[in-house]
Structure 1
């Protein structure tokens, strides 16, 4: 059930948000994410202004997630709490109806994947992003996942635009269908325990 909705949302928590790998989400994860984004965008160079922008986006995302998902108000969000919040705020909704801070994160994440900043995520950028996050031992698995994401317009453009990425991300979180092309947005997934 690697592509089940439950596993996909667990993947988001574990591999995108839980930066310090302590099993829960808290403000520290999002502070770390801001620094990570700044350094990735700068290819190792640190730009204080970009860092402040990224920190604002990430802390806004944390505040929104905490408001939506920290049901017991203990300052941490468990994977189960996050799933309930995603189900309430994203299930069956298009990108435009997602919480504002989540949309800002999705757009920022697109910029991280689009390494050459040409507005399109090409196969090489997709591969790089995947292997930086998950263990993959076969290039064909990455290429198959990428090709599964693409529609005819994507192929003509040479990859995924921001608008298409937004659409796929919304489906990844909000569409329970395991056969949706969006299930491959982060590469070949493995079932999480």
Structure 2
């Protein structure tokens, strides 16, 4: 990896870290996932009991996957642990014989992410779902709409394509790769 590509990838992963550090204390803990799940469930309405339950389950699953980065097992993921974990993950994903256990763990993380973005559970991420979620994470509407147009064909992003883009996002150090339009939802 060139220095420029490495710098780009590190900045991308730092941004992702800060999205998960919901309370802004400099580490990712299970509490951050509770905060995110509560906030995300408001996108579909707090009165929707089923969706709140879905987000609670997703929060638990995503938390378990992300907390794998807690190298010293102290109950929190620091930025250094986060970067080390994802460097190892990206290196592993570039291998032709990627460890099946790592692929299964990443697949779970990607499935959970997709399900959280597919607000109405129709198997697609619609433009309005994408824009709402982007805005939740502080992305302005114009940028969100532009990124969606780059990723999708029409007004829906198909599940397989979305999951492939999420996978590539974690792996790619190319600043021009289309997966960078995913805006760090993983």
Same fold (TM over 0.5): yes
Report the equivalent of 1:166.
163
Task: Using CA pairs under 8 Å that are at least 6 residues apart, name the structure with larger relative contact order, 1 or 2.
Answer: 1
Cα-to-partner distance string for 1:61-94 (whole Å, 9 max, x where unaligned): 434433x322233221112211211121244628
Residue in structure 1 matched with residue 14 of structure 2 by the alignment: 10
Q: Which TM-score applies when normalising by structure 1?
A: 0.72
**Any runs of at least 4 consecutive aligned residues in structure 1 with deviations exceeding 6 A, and if so which?**
none
Within-5 A mapping of 1:79-158: 79-91=79-91, 93=93, 98=102, 100=104, 102-136=106-140, 139=142, 141-150=143-152, 155=153, 158=155
Per residue, is there more strand in 1 or in 2? Answer: 2
Q: Which runs of 5+ in 2 are unaligned?
A: 95-99
- 1:44 deviation in Å? 1.4
CA contact (8 A) 1:25 1:76 kept: yes
Contact 2:14/2:79 (CA < 8 Å) preserved in 1? yes
For the residues of structure 2 that align with 1:164 and 1:132, how far apart are their CA atoms?
Answer: 22
CA shift digits 1:107-137 (9 cap, x unpaired): 233233233433222333222221221242x
**Stretches of structure 1 lacking an aligned partner (at least 5 in a row):** 188-193
Q: What TM-score, normalized to structure 2?
A: 0.74
**CA distances 1:17-48 after superposition (whole Å, capped 9, x unpaired):** 2222222101211233344454545x212527
Task: Give the match for residue 186 of structure 1.
Answer: 183
